[in-house]
Amino acid sequence: MEARQAMIATYDDIHSLVGAVRSIREQGCEDVTVFGPIMETELEEVLGKPASPVRRYALLGGITGLVCGLALTVWSSYYYPLVVGGKPLASIPAYVVIAFEMTILFAGISALIGMLIHNRMPTFKLHPAHDPRFSEDRFAVRAVCDPGRAAKIEEVLRSYSPGEVRRDR
Amino acid sequence: MATAAPPAESPFAKVNRDIIGALWEPDWRYRILILALLAVLGWAGFAWIYQIKTGMGTAGITHPVMWGAYITNFVFWVGIAHSGTLISAILYLLRSGWRTTINRAAEAMTIFAVMTAGLFPLIHLGRVWYFYFLAPYPNQRMLWPNFRSPLIWDFFAISTYFTISLLFWYSGLIPDLASVRDRMMGLRGRMARIKEKIYGALSLGWQGTDSQWKNYRRAYLYMAAIATPLVLSVHSVVSWDFAMAITPGWHSTIFAPYFVAGAIFSGIAMVITLSVPFRWALGLEDYITEYHYDNMAKLLLLTSLIVGYAYLAEYFMAWLSGDPIEWESFRWRAVGAYSGPFFIMVTCNVLIPLLCFWRRIRRSIKAVFVISVFVNIGMWYERFVIIVTSLAHEYAPGAWGLYKPTWVELSITAGSFAWFLLWFMLFAKTLPAISITEVKESIAEGVWSPGDKKEGA
């Protein structure tokens, strides 16, 4: 496992990229990172990485918001009892509106926070392989594999008409 | 921009160049417009200060019409705010390809419209320095909000809507801000370094790796999914500010869907009104084409029909109820002292948008623009008619009265338009006004590409 070899290949369009990624994954190269200006569902499937954990943040945030919204309204009504219009202190139908808004608020904020945590953002340090063209019109594959397999992987990458292929550290 | 274009430029690179190239370097017309808007805003600020100093008597609101132009403006601007999230969230979930070039501007409009709307409750308060009484926190004054009141629901709904819209808009901007940063990396000069730093910080260090995209797309999908019920709830809650009161003309179960449709209607109209000069000024005619206006006009027509149906249904229910007070309120609305605004409302909101049934009109940008301006006027009058005629003509004839806005209210109303447009103009020159990422996705998926007018659609 010493000194694994990294290679970067750039492509002009996402379809060659999808093909290249699929082939190197079939060759047994598991450590693949893709850079690009857009992402497609097909590419996500080909990469075969686990589902994003952001879903759990959104769910937990939503539940927290719901509980907080109901708690704020019900608790405060009992804490400071003022009967308004002869209605019960815990007027659930009226409080549902506030609980609903808080559910949405917390779910949205926590989905965003989850995204930031798992994307390691915010940061000022960009990936060493970052290139300004990756946000313009270039896609790149960074494949890390055993030195023994490097020649084979490089050949596969070259077969999808890349812009360039280079060995990285 | 300074980067020399290579001879055979890829479609993606052209998108970057067109959209980022439209930023900064404003011409003299832009500067003059900014100055004019600042002048209007300054006048409105003077009017507000005058009102604060002299008292609420300077506004025309008095018994029985205690809600006038300020609340009209509030409801109008909240309505304008609705199309942005509709276009972004609901059409995103429905996978509508045509939303991609207008969603960014529409979302920005949403945020600025909420910022405008949020001023009006404060202006309406009179003693604005007491506004913090609204916030629910334990205090020595023994004040506590009544959570059963629609007004406090509204406070929660609008602040949630503002926060979520802002975050949704910002998360859409992240990859595009990184595009701007990367473009600045290729340029020389001190300004480019400063811009690279600023946009780099704003993009939070985005670098477009697959795992970043995966989390990002998930987060965006969830934001869209939760923004959809939110957008429908916000104007429902605004409508309950009225519908929960027993005032004839307000107390109706139709109000929530009626207001939501009206909000989307006015919001789409405002998107059209703003995007026509905006695409011309930024040279983005290839990006927002007849295809987009055709689709927006269809949405305008649909919501216009719903609003027209609601107008009729209100009259039908007033008649069917057999309640003489309800019927008198609606009769007076059409033929009483405010028949003028009523006539403008029906003409602009129901009759003129019917022109959108013709395909040739929908595909004519000039025609759609003119229709959208009429709709904006009509929707302002709709808010006015609903609010003022109902209050002016309640139960007891002895308590009837008329309302007329004063110069203070009119100045502040004009100022609200200046405030909104000023933010929009600043946005158009500092942030990518069209989603670079989504245009590229459309190109890659073959849904639509710049310059395509989709005649056959």
Lowest mean pLDDT among A127-131, B75-79, B226-230: A127-131
Tell me whether residues B147 and A94 touch, CB distance under 8 A: yes
Is the pLDDT assigned to residue B438 strictly greater than 50? yes
B77 belongs to a structural domain: yes
pLDDT-derived band at B300, boundaries 50, 70, 90: very high
Query: Which of A 103-122 lie inside 8 A of B, CB atoms?
Result: 104-105, 107-109, 111-112, 114-116, 118-122
In terms of CA atoms, which chain A residue is nearest residue B439? A38
Structure letter (DSSP) for residue B56:
G
B44 CA to chain A: closest CA distance, Å? 33
Tell me whether residues A91 and B148 touch, CB distance under 8 A: yes
B203 belongs to a structural domain: no
Is the pLDDT assigned to residue B452 strictly greater than 80? no
Q: Cα–Cα distance between A123 and B258 in angstroms, integer?
A: 46
The predicted structure's pLDDT at residue B448: 76
Q: Cα–Cα distance between B429 and B419 in angstroms, integer?
A: 16
Q: Cα–Cα distance between B21 and B2 in angstroms, integer?
A: 9
Q: Cα–Cα distance between B254 and B252 in angstroms, integer?
A: 5
Lowest mean pLDDT among A123-127, A133-137, A162-166, B4-8: B4-8
The pLDDT tens digits for A31-56 are: 888 998 988 888 888 888 888 899 99
Residues 6+ apart with CB under 8 A from B77: B113, B114, B116, B117, B120, B416, B420
Point out the residue among B168, B207, B210 whose CB comes nearest to the CB of A130: B207
B302 belongs to a structural domain: yes
Q: Cα–Cα distance between A112 and B223 in angstroms, integer?
A: 8
Which residues in chain A are contacts of B201 at CB distance < 8 A? Answer: 122, 124
Is the pLDDT assigned to residue A106 strictly greater than 60? yes
Q: Which of B139, B171, B216 to mutate to test the interface with A (most CBs of A within 10 A)?
A: B216
User: What does the angle CA B381 – CA B385 – CA B391 come to, to the nearest 5 degrees?
Assistant: 150
The predicted structure's pLDDT at residue B5: 47
pLDDT-derived band at B2, boundaries 50, 70, 90: very low
Average pLDDT, chain B: 89
Tell me whether residues B211 and A49 touch, CB distance under 8 A: yes
For range B169-178, the mean pLDDT: 92
Which residues in chain B are contacts of A126 at CB distance < 8 A? Answer: 205, 207
B166 belongs to a structural domain: no
pTM over 0.80: yes
The predicted structure's pLDDT at residue B1: 41
Residues 6+ apart with CB under 8 A from B440: A37, A38, B12, B15
Q: State percent of chain A over pLDDT 90.
A: 28
Lowest mean pLDDT among A118-132, B1-15, B136-150, B415-429: B1-15
A10 CA to chain B: closest CA distance, Å? 13
Tell me whether residues A108 and B164 touch, CB distance under 8 A: yes
The pLDDT tens digits for B318-349 are: 999 999 999 999 999 999 999 999 999 999 99
Average pLDDT, chain A: 88
Question: Are A32 and B211 a contacting pair, CB within 8 Å?
Answer: no
Whether A56 has its CB under 8 Å from any CB of chain B: the answer is no
Tell me whether residues A111 and B223 touch, CB distance under 8 A: yes
Is the pLDDT assigned to residue A25 strictly greater than 70? yes
B189 CA to chain A: closest CA distance, Å? 17
Which residues in chain B are contacts of A43 at CB distance < 8 A? Answer: 210
The predicted structure's pLDDT at residue B240: 94
Question: Are B212 and A122 a contacting pair, CB within 8 Å?
Answer: no
Point out the residue among A34, A77, A126 whose CB comes nearest to the CB of B147: A77
Tell me whether residues B163 and A14 touch, CB distance under 8 A: no
Task: Give the ipTM of the model, two decimals please.
Answer: 0.91
Name which of B166, B155, B308, B119 is nearest B237 in CA terms.
B155
Select, from the ranges B59-73, B128-142, B185-199, the one with the highest average predicted confidence (pLDDT): B59-73
Between B150-185 and B436-445, two packed helices, what is the crossing angle to 10 degrees? 80
Q: How many domains does chain B have?
A: 1
Tell me whether residues A135 and B200 touch, CB distance under 8 A: no
B172 belongs to a structural domain: no
For range B87-100, the mean pLDDT: 82
For range A82-99, the mean pLDDT: 90
The predicted structure's pLDDT at residue A129: 82
Which residues in chain A are contacts of B153 at CB distance < 8 A? Answer: 94, 97-98, 101
Q: Cα–Cα distance between B233 and A140 in angstroms, integer?
A: 43
Name which of B298, B288, B448, B307 is nearest B371 in CA terms.
B298
pLDDT-derived band at A169, boundaries 50, 70, 90: low
Q: How many CB atoms lie within 10 A of CB B423?
A: 18
The predicted structure's pLDDT at residue A105: 95
Select, from the ranges A77-86, B48-57, B179-188, the one with the highest average predicted confidence (pLDDT): B48-57
Burial (CB count within 10 angstroms: exposed 0-12, middle 13-18, buried 19+), residue B251: middle
Whether A161 has its CB under 8 Å from any CB of chain B: the answer is no
Point out the residue among B179, B233, B237 whose CB comes nearest to the CB of A135: B179
Whether A101 has its CB under 8 Å from any CB of chain B: the answer is yes
Tell me whether residues A137 and B200 touch, CB distance under 8 A: no
A155 alpha carbon, distance to own chain's centre: 30
Give me the total of CB pairs closer than 8 Å, taking one residue from chain A and one from chain B.
191
Q: Print the domain residue range for B296.
A: 26-57+69-134+229-445
- H helices of B55-149, in order, are 69-80, 82-85, 91-93, 103-125
For range A103-128, the mean pLDDT: 90
Is the pLDDT assigned to residue A135 strictly greater than 90? no
The predicted structure's pLDDT at residue B258: 92
Q: Which of A38, A40, A91 to mutate to test the interface with B (most CBs of B within 10 A)?
A: A38
B360 belongs to a structural domain: yes
pLDDT-derived band at B457, boundaries 50, 70, 90: very low
A159 CA to chain B: closest CA distance, Å? 21
For range B153-182, the mean pLDDT: 92
Q: State percent of chain B over pLDDT 90.
A: 60
For range B393-406, the mean pLDDT: 92
Tell me whether residues A108 and B223 touch, CB distance under 8 A: yes
Is the pLDDT assigned to residue B8 strictly greater than 80? no
Tell me whether residues A73 and B237 touch, CB distance under 8 A: no
B204 belongs to a structural domain: no
B327 belongs to a structural domain: yes
In terms of CA atoms, which chain A residue is nearest residue B172? A112
